[in-house]
Chains A and B, each alone.
Chain A
Amino acid sequence: MIKIFQTGQAGSTKYLFDMHKVRTKIFRDRMKWDVHVNDMELEVDEYDLPNTVYILSLDENEKVTGTWRFLTTSEPSMIENIWPQYLDTLPIPKSGTMCETSRFGVYSENESICERKKTVNAVTAEMIVALIKVCIMCGITDMFTLYDIKIKKLLDKIGFTPIETSEIINLEGKATLTARFKMDQALLDAVQKHVNIDVLITPNVLPPVLLEKFLENQNEEKAVRYA
């Protein structure tokens, strides 16, 4: 099940806590990243802002298994602030209709490697489909993100292919790049053809910051239709 929310949204605090705790387990404990973890064991950084949107995948007990963070590029950008070297070959325009995603991770406590792999694949597919749908609904045209090139094969396999990438840069011993994805129906069709899943996203599940964009997008579409 997909849950989309922003900090402070009524009824979402338990997911907010669970998400920050899961991020501690994924990024500090498993990936060994040097991240800020506070005394409540919550991994929080300066991009967890009030306007930040979180796309979560929840299991049958409503526990967070997948997390993905989303900020429009008009908000502070991790790539620009921390790794500006990628911008030389792939600039990121400041825009309220483009986004940057980060902190993608899947967490499973299943001891079987086979079951964990299944969870990772299912949750990844679910979150990608949800993100593309949200972007289409809200008029977000492009998504930028940074990843290890080892992920490229997996993304190609599920049809989630960027339209543009930066040069490959060695980041802490890993070959990485930033990529730009065109968030449109063609990309959604390509992914769904491979993963064969659908996620129902309706306006009432959008957090305020995205609902506003959805309504603006609706008005713009109407204006174009009647022009």
Chain B
Amino acid sequence: MPNEIPEEYLFTKNMISNISDKEELIQCLGKVITLLGLIDSSCQSREWDTEASVVRSSAVELLDLVQKLVEKKLLEAA
């Protein structure tokens, strides 16, 4: 697996856990998209087939984290 993927994953996960405003949310959304791009382009080049689905699932879990966070904020605002 390209080294940058675990690094980007951990960096993005950490960013998500620290979202406190709109600007940070936008940055995180951009980061998750970038991470998915890295993973998917590496999958296509078949560099690390066996790990790919696990890592991709982890990246998609980050999206779930963001969605839950937004829903929580919505509930708080209601």
A40 close to B56 (CB less than 8 A): no
Partner of A20, one of B33, B59, B64: B33
Q: Which residue of B has the minimal Cβ distance to A9?
A: B60
A16–B22 alpha-carbon span in the complex (Å) = 21
A217 at the interface (CB under 8 A from B): no
User: In the complex the two chains form, what is the Cα distance from A10 to B53 in whole Å?
Assistant: 10
Query: Is the interface on chain B under 10, 10 to 19, 20 to 34, or 35 or more residues?
Result: 20 to 34
Q: Total A-B residue pairs with C-beta atoms closer than 8 Å?
A: 60
Least Cβ distance of A49 to chain B in Å? 6
Indicate whether A42 sits within 8 Å of B70 (C-beta atoms), given known contacts A14-B40, A50-B64. Answer: no
Instruction: For the complex formed, measure the closest distance between the CB of A219 and the CB atoms of chain B, giving whole angstroms.
Output: 23
Q: Mark A22-44, 1 if CB is under 8 A from B, else 0.
A: 00000000000000101010101
Report Cα–Cα, A14/B41, bound state, in Å: 9
Contact A40 B25 (CB under 8 A): no
Does B37 contact A17, Cβ atoms closer than 8 Å?
Answer: yes
Total count of chain A residues near the partner, CB < 8 A: 21
Q: Is the CB of B37 within 8 A of A13?
A: yes
- B26 A13 Cβ-Cβ under 8 A: no
A and B contact pairs by CB, cutoff 8 A, 24 listed = A7-B29, A7-B32, A7-B33, A7-B36, A8-B59, A8-B63, A13-B33, A13-B37, A17-B37, A20-B33, A36-B30, A42-B33, A44-B33, A46-B22, A46-B29, A48-B33, A49-B29, A49-B66, A49-B67, A50-B63, A50-B64, A50-B66, A50-B67, A75-B70
Residues on B lying within 8 angstroms of A by beta carbon are 22, 25-27, 29-30, 32-34, 36-37, 39-41, 56, 59-60, 63-64, 66-67, 70, 74
